[in-house]
Structures are given as C-alpha cells and as structure tokens.
A and B are shown apart, each in its own frame.
Chain A
Amino acid sequence: MKMIENVSRRGFIQGALASGVFILSARFVAQPLWADEAEVAPPFDPAVWMSIASDGTVTIVAHRSEMGCGSRTALPLVVTDELDADWSRVKIEQAIGDPKYGDQDTDGSHSVRSYFELMRQVGATGRTMLITAAATQWNVSPKDCSTEPHFVVHKASGKKLGYGELAASAAKLPVPSKDDVRFKSRSEWRYIGKESNALFDLSDIVTGKAVFGMDAVMPGMVYASVEHPPVLGQKIKTYDDKAALKVAGVQKTLTIETFKPPHMFQPLGGVAVIADNTWAAFQGRKSLKIEWDSSPHAVYNSGPYRKTLEETSRQPGKVVRNIGDVDAEFAKGGKIVESEYYTPHLAHASMEPPVAVAEYRAGKVLAWAPTQNPQAVQETIAGVLGIKKEDVTCHVTLLGGGFGRKSKPDQVAEAAVLSKQLGKPVKVVWSREDDIRFDFFHSVAAMYMKAAIGPNGKPTAWLQRTVYPPINSMFDVSARYADDEMGLGWNNLPFDIPNHRAENGPADFHVRIGWLRSVANIYHAYAIHSFADELAAMAKRDPAQYLLELIGPDRIVKLDDKEDEEIAKQGYPLDTARLRRVVEIVTEKSNWAKRPMGKGRGMGIAAHRSFYTYVATVVEVEVDSKGRVRMPNVWSAIDAGTVVSPDNIRNQVEGAAVFGTSLAMYSNITATNGAIDQSNFDKYQIARMSQAPRHIQVEIVKSDAPPAGVGEPGLPPFAPALCNAVFAATGKRVRELPLSKTKLL
C-alpha cells in the first residue's frame, strides 16, 4: 500500500533516479541485443540505469520483470560488481514500461544473456569515473588508484574516499567511451558467479511485505470480476444483472466489448461486476444471467481435434530443415521404425492469477500490474482505448509466477477499460477458474517420427513432423504453420544422422495459444528423446551411450534458422561438445552405469539445448504394484555459460523438475464445444510436494562462455527422461502426456 501512495505523490512518470547526485548521463551507442530486437533497442542512456546519492546509496534500475527467475537480482548484481559497490548499500528501483530501456518483455530466458554486457558497462563506467574523480582530488594518476567495495583507494598514500563522497565530483566528469572504461577481470568479480548471492526480495517475501500485483491498491479503487465468454470470440446477446445487483457489496455491472480479431492481447470481452471488495464481485458474477451468441470456435472438441492433428502429422508438411535425402533412404527398405506422440494443452496456473489496477484520467492511464511486459501493457491499452501509448504509465509489481502467461496483459486492459467507464481506479481480479479457463494455452501437439535403422542400430534416416496451432494465430488469424516455434527444438536436431528432415504441418486454432515456460521445446524434446530411447531399446543398447552416439563427434551444428545463426555469431553456436559434456556429467552423477533396471525400477535420460543452454536430465522411478509412479531421484547437469547466481540456477532447475512432473504426469486441458473443461486445481492438477521428485540434484558446468538462459532450459528434458525411466521400469512406452493416460500394469 505504501508503495502505491509514494508513487502517486511522485506523479505519473517521474524518473526513479531523481534523488541521485551522480547520474550517468551520456549516451552510449546502442548495442544490437539480438537480431529482431535491434529495432526496439534505442540509444543506450545509462542515466536510466544507475545513480549514487551523497550518502553512498547506489540505486540500480531493474527493467526486467521478476516472476521468480531472479533477473531483478541478477542484472543489478552485475552492475554492482563492475561498479565495485557494496551490495548491502544497493537499492533496486523497478522500471516502468518505457522503450528507453530497450526490450522489457521478460521471456525467452534472455534477461542475463541480452543485458549482461550492458550492465557490466554501466557499472564499469561508474567505477572508472569515480576513480577519475578521486585521482583528480588527490592529484595522482587514475592508474595508481583502485577500488574496494564502495571506496576508491590510493595504495601508495593510503588515501581512501567513499563513493558517496565522490558522487558529486564524479557526476561532473565526461562519460568515458567503452574503450576507456576499466572492466574487471573474471577473477576480480565479487558477486558474479558466487554462491552467496540471494534474491534481493528474499526477506520481504518471507515476511509477507513483498508487493505482488494482487497486493496493489489505489486510493478510491473499486473491485471488478469479469464473466468472460465461454467460447473464444462470443459476444453478449442479452444479459440480466438484476440478481447480481442485489448481492451485498455489488455496485453495478458493465460490459467489455469482445475483441476484434486478430486477438493480440486484447480483452476477451464479457460482463464485469463492480463491487466494494473482491469477494462481493465474485459473488455477484454467480447471479449474472448471460446469453452469448455463436462463435466459429464452438466446434472445438479435444477428441476429434486430436485425430485431425494426428492425421495431418502423417502427411507431408512444410519442410523446415533438410539434410541428405530421407526418402531415398526409406525407399531402400530395411528396418523402418515409426512412432507417434501426443501432448495436451496446458495452463500456466501461476499461483497469482491475472490481476491489475488501473486508473483512467483525462486521456491518460496509470496501471500497476504483475506483467512480464510493461510495454505491451502500454501498447494494448493505447490500442483498446485509442490513446497514445506514451500516455499509459505501467508500473510493474513482483509477479506471483508468470511462465509466459503474464507477457499478455489482457487483464490490465480490462482494468483500464472499466476505469474509463467508471471514472475511478479499478482493480480487476481473475479467479482461479478464470485463469485456467481463459488462459493463453500451451498448445496441444501431435508428432510423427520415422527412422531407417542401419546395421549398427543407428538411424541412417530420421524424419520428424510436428503439428499444432501456432502462437502466431493470436496475431494473424490465417497463421496455420508454427514458423516461429521451429527454432524451439525442431529445426536444430543436434544428432549425427546423414539423412534428416524436419517438417511442420498446419493446424487451426480455437483457443488462445501462448508461450508457456520453454514453449514448443516441451513437446519437441518429448518426441525426439522418447523416439531416441525407442531406437536404443530396439537396438538393445544402453540409452545414454546410444544418445552420445546420436550426438556424435564434437562439432558446431550448422543451423538453417536465421535468428539462431545471428545469435550463434554472438557466441552461442550449437556446440555438440557441450551437449555431450552434460550427458557425461549427469550419467556420472546418477551412477547411471549401475542403474536399477526392470521390476518396477528404472532410470531414463534426455538432453536438450534450449535458450542456448545445454541440459541433461536423468530421472529415477519406482512403479509400484498399483502402477503408481514415484521419483526418488532426479539429476540434472546444466551448462548455461557464465552464471551470475549459481544457487538460483539450481533452484530454477529443481523447479523445472517439479514443473516437469506436473506436465508429464498430471496436467491436461481439454475443450468441449469450444469451452474449457477444467477450472481449478481439482481437475487441472499440478504436482504437490508428495508427488514431486524426492531428491533433485543439479550440477552446474563451470564455463566462461557467454551467459545463456536459465529459467526455461531445465524443463524440456524432464518429461522424456521420466517417460524413458518408466519404460526401463515397466517396459511400457509412454507416447502421450500426461502419463496418467497410460496404463502401466
């Protein structure tokens, strides 16, 4: 509550750094962060990032959202390290949405990858200027000065000045160019890569002081809960709110217009109940009587839709990668293996459902939201209300989980639309039922795999086809091919197979499709590594050894994907030596060679590169006489290049094993006549403590390679490793998720 009041006193868009004496103010030349973001990365102005007050308080701006992955801690730690500041004297200010920060969409596991060097430069520039200021004052050469946390020191004379004391004079200096900035060597880092790093917000979290979107308030606000059309695109035909208005605490009802396609991130539409508190709004909704019109998406039934996807996957699709000639190899006859895999829709189910507070006043909007993408909040609200995006101010709270759902700000736009109608601030709270029924779902997917097996048991040809409604259907209703998802584990198979073709088949969307933690890598890795394990079993080979043979000799894999190629040039090639290494480490740590086999016990393995990080996972299972699966142990090895906070990386990968347990064993979203069948944690199950792996051990590969992703890459290998373990334990192959669909007895 305090936070909001402070900020409203400050006004809409006052910079976080106004209190700083020393504010870096020159412009650096923009660094293209990665190919398709270069256009949104503006000239880089370090004044946005850091200031030092005369009491020595260093304020660092976190421009990426914190949803539990640690970027709000990691990037300021990098600045702090290169500045050689004392972390205990650092304050973090969360940025509002503003293109001056470049890209703020906290997705794709790239906060550290894209901003590591820029944050180093910000810190190192500040340190260099503080050294210059001290040297000038002491009339010595800057070369003879060094720093210790929060001080510049001159060893020869024993002189020492604090950063706070130097801030005013340092601020008057010209900002040195990058070439003249003194960067630390790796061995001088005090924070980067250190075990002692903990989340900045840790104590606020455990004491309940942390402010999430659910906790944001504005003076004079009312609460709203929205009854959405059950089928995508339906409009209100008639509605009767008489009973709803009689519910204690309900003030009125308002309608929100159904979006006009393409959907983008617009509100779904519906009837909003405005009330004195959240509960009254929820209660009022139960008494609404709404008749909805028809929607073409009412044809959506999960059973028949699955058949359509599977039939499509058996037909030739769009070729997205081609090596050699798989058809010629298949035509030779010999041993041919085919297999099909299916995965359902998933809902994100962040523990904090979508929520937002917004106020419309005189053509401008102020919003507080748990959003992964405050600039998308600006754009979406501007689009829906017909105002300029500069007139939308979006403050970002902590996010109670995000997993991709909170890149889409439809609920923030709902709050703005309602506030404009009411003339007062509105807090929109989605119930858990709203969250699960009206998600941007992880796509359902069907995969078809075919291989020709050579005399040594290794494939001589490998064909893979994947079919699912693309995320792009939210932006272009005619999109039926998943072009943007191909780089997510499909057009970059790192196997040493002379003939290989990857294809993608078309599919229609009927619900909102979105990004969910590691996105298409989930079903792509599941199909690829289940199939690899099937081939290993057929060849009567050790699955880990077989996997290493598939990976083949150490090499840089040539990629056909433009974006991948661009990023490869920045230090992120697909290097099979790194993939091999994580497999070797995980087999060693799991004592794979002595693994239990059969009679209800077994281990399975998978290894996958995503977001430029290499992860191998071994899952150990026990399947009891009733077919119940337990996981006593999981081991993962991760090579994410240079790491900032190792303990947080372990936490992320441990969490991926639990998130993976949910999707591999329990979670399943289905639709009937266009409406989603599940609505809360009773039917949409996510793993509980007793269902999660008992011990998860994570090994981080020491590496000086540039930093890669961490939040997502732990997830893709989990489900196939688990299903392969189930095969080892029971002889039953799991060709669809969740696992609960397969009878293990």
Chain B
Amino acid sequence: MIRLKVNGKEKTFEGDPDMPLLWYLRDVAGLTGTKFGCGMSLCGACTVHQNGEAIRSCTTTMREVAGSGITTIEGIAPMHPVQKAWMEIRVPQCGYCQTGQIMQAIALLKEHKHPSDEEIDSAMSGNLCRCGTYQRIRSAIHQAAKETA
C-alpha cells in the first residue's frame, strides 16, 4: 500500500505501483485539473508539485511519490498571485495547458523571485501551448513576480 498526501489530505493507494501519478489523480482521485497531454514528459500539461517541486505526473509512478506531499492545481488557494496575473493578462485561449503552466510558474517563482526573460524561457519551455500564449505567460510571470515582491 502506498501512502501519500494530496493537497494536504492523507491518501492511500493499493493499485499498481507503476501507475503514473497523473492517472491516479485523474481517474482514481477525481482531480481533473491536472491534464494529460503526451504521457512522455514532453508537454508539461500534467505538471504538479512533489514536496514543492514541479514534476511531470505522467511519467512519475505512484511508487516514486510514496510518502510525498503532492500539490495539484486544486490545492492552490485561489487567487494565488500567479492565477491573478494569468487573469489580468488574460493568458488563456483554450485553457487546457494552463493549469500545468501555472503549476510550473509557481515553482519557478519559488526558486527565482524575479526571473529574467531567459530564466522564464528556460523554466517554461517544457510546457507546450498549442494556442500559442507564450508571450502572455511570460508577461504574467513578470507581473506575478512584482506582486509577490
């Protein structure tokens, strides 16, 4: 049996320990804010936090998160400064990738309080957006950095 915390709540999992966290969150725990995009850590739509660090839940197995604290978009108290900036800059188009983008951005701002364009590009380039909202994502991260300063 695997024990973990999801958004502060104790959870146990008795299924296949090789199941990726993504599918546990979506199909078992019913937390659908975390999205499936590629299954290979190529797109970042499934980004969540493991003990505060951004991970791709589509390639992280339940075995690997045993004992960890997992935070999903549902565990971020709205409106977090990053979410607020996302709304003010009106980042989303279809919105599907945006929860992954936001989770990645929150992790980035923990590490770099005031990231440069290059630091943002480097941290965010694992998160694809087919609608092409990158410019607004970059602006929103700068704005959120100002707010949290």
Contacts and interface: CB of A to CB of B under 8 A. Distances in A.
Interface of A: 1, 66-70, 198-199, 201-203, 205-212, 214-215, 217, 223, 248-249, 277-280, 282, 349-353, 398-403, 429, 431-432, 647-648, 651-652, 654-659, 661, 680-682, 686-696
B69 interface: no
Contact of B23 (A205, A278, A648, A682): A278
Interface of B: 15-16, 19-20, 22-23, 26-28, 30, 32-40, 42-43, 45, 72-74, 76, 78-79, 83, 86-87, 90-99, 102, 117, 120-122, 124-138
B70 to A, nearest CB: 14
Contact of A657 (B27, B36, B132): B132
Contacts of A694: 117, 135
Contact of A654 (B28, B99, B133): B133
Given A67-B94, A198-B87, A647-B90, A353 B130 contact: no
A202 B92 contact: yes
Contact of A681 (B34, B42, B95, B120): B42
A424 to B, nearest CB: 16
A279 B23 contact: yes
Contacts of B134: 658, 687-689, 692
Contacts of A206: 78-79, 83, 86-87, 91-92, 95, 98-99, 102
Nearest to B30: A1
Contact of A655 (B22, B120, B132): B132
A654 B124 CA distance: 18
Given A214-B35, A689-B127, 18 more contacts: A68-B93, A69-B93, A199-B90, A199-B95, A205-B99, A206-B99, A206-B102, A208-B32, A249-B15, A278-B26, A353-B36, A399-B94, A400-B97, A431-B39, A680-B42, A689-B125, A689-B137, A694-B117
A692 B40 contact: no
B30 A654 contact: no
A657 B133 CA distance: 10
A589 to B, nearest CB: 16
A212 B91 CA distance: 18
Contacts of A647: 90
A350 B36 CA distance: 11
Contacts of B93: 68-70, 651-652, 655
B104 to A, nearest CB: 10
A351 B37 contact: yes
23 contacts: A68-B92, A68-B95, A68-B131, A199-B95, A206-B92, A212-B96, A214-B26, A277-B23, A278-B26, A351-B37, A351-B131, A400-B35, A401-B96, A432-B40, A657-B132, A658-B129, A658-B134, A661-B132, A680-B39, A680-B40, A690-B121, A693-B135, A694-B117
B132 A201 contact: no
A400 B101 CA distance: 14
B84 to A, nearest CB: 9
A279 B20 contact: yes
Nearest to B26: A278
Most buried by B among A249, A401, A689: A689
A69 B42 CA distance: 25
Contact of B122 (A67, A198, A680, A690): A690
A680 B83 CA distance: 29
Report which residue of A206, A350, A656, A694 has the largest number of chain B beta carbons within 10 angstroms of its beta carbon. A206
A66 B138 CA distance: 24
B132 A403 contact: no
A694 B127 CA distance: 16
A692 B97 contact: no
A351 B135 CA distance: 18
Contacts of B124: 689
A401 B27 contact: no
Contacts of A248: 15-16
B87 A351 contact: no
B136 A403 contact: no
B133 A655 contact: yes
Contacts of A205: 92, 95, 98-99
| Nearest 8 Cβ contacts at the A-B interface | A208-B33, A658-B132, A400-B96, A68-B94, A655-B132, A205-B95, A208-B73, A68-B93
A351 B94 contact: yes
Contact of A682 (B40, B83, B126): B40
A279 B93 CA distance: 28
Contacts of A402: 94
B133 A351 contact: no
A117 B45 CA distance: 38
Nearest to A355: B36
Given A398-B95, A696-B135, A349 B130 contact: yes
Pick the most buried of A67, A199, A248, A655: most chain B CB atoms within 10 A of its CB.
A655
A417 to B, nearest CB: 22
A400 B136 CA distance: 18
A694 B96 CA distance: 22
A654 B132 contact: yes
Contacts of A68: 92-95, 131
Contacts of A648: 90
A445 B121 CA distance: 34
Contacts of B121: 689-690
A351 B128 contact: yes
B39 A282 contact: yes
Given A351-B45, A689-B127, A208 B96 contact: no
Nearest to B88: A198
Contacts of A695: 135
Contacts of A651: 90, 93, 133, 136
- Most chain B C-beta atoms within 10 Å of own C-beta, residue among A208, A400, A661: A208
A207 B39 contact: no
Contacts of A689: 120-121, 124-125, 127, 129, 134, 137-138
Contacts of A215: 26, 32
Nearest to B122: A690
Contact of A659 (B32, B132, B135): B132
A349 B45 CA distance: 13
Contacts of A659: 130-132
B131 A401 contact: yes
Contacts of B40: 432, 680-682
Contacts of B45: 351
Contacts of B138: 689
A400 B95 contact: yes
A70 B90 CA distance: 12
Given A68-B94, A210-B95, A401-B96, A432 B125 contact: no
Contacts of B97: 351, 400
A434 to B, nearest CB: 11
A681 B97 CA distance: 14
Contacts of A1: 30, 32
Nearest to A429: B36
A357 to B, nearest CB: 12
Contacts of A279: 19-20, 22-23, 27
Contacts of B39: 282, 431-432, 680
A734 B130 CA distance: 24
A654 B136 contact: yes
Contacts of B33: 207-209
A194 to B, nearest CB: 13
